[in-house]
Structure 1
């Protein structure tokens, strides 16, 4: 019994020693696991770089192709704009020019024009195109 009385007398110091031992053990185990994590992370990064390196050439080729197509598309857009300007300019010239200033029809001409108007209005429309 004398051992129990001695232990009971120093119960706080024994509890502090046991808890300190557990705490130090936990720190050592955490350091061990962090070392394993660093090794695994390095291996994972190596594998990712290896896979990325394999696909990087394909990605670069695709980017080059896209930039080439974009350049061609932009050139084609410029051509279309120039053609559109030409057509628009020509159309404006055609619309603004006055071709007929006076319309002088004889009686025979009026008869033919009236017959054409009646024929055009009597036809059934085919609908919108």
Structure 2
């Protein structure tokens, strides 16, 4: 009776261990499949991200190259203009038609409003436009 009990006990232990091993293998297989599935998704997302980065970098680089070409053209034009500039020195002489020796308006005393009117009249006389 004890031998049959021990045999049944060992049989039950073997069945439980076999079931546990089977469940562990199934769980390990599922986890491996999930890990490889997510790894593939992350790799494809990483590839898409790298592709977008490369596209942005190529657009940025082409824009920089276009600006460099424009700057090169402008620099050449500027250098050509610098070479065309000729400096000419002349003596400037002013001849006065009339020399004023008698200052008439030295003792003129105006307040602020009068000076403002006089200044506007001077500007109008110089620009030939009304104030």
TM-score for the superposition, normalised by structure 1: 0.43
Structure possessing the higher radius of gyration over alpha carbons: 2
TM-score for the superposition, normalised by structure 2: 0.43
Higher relative contact order (CA 8 A, sep 6+): 2
- The structure in which a higher percent of residues are helix is 1
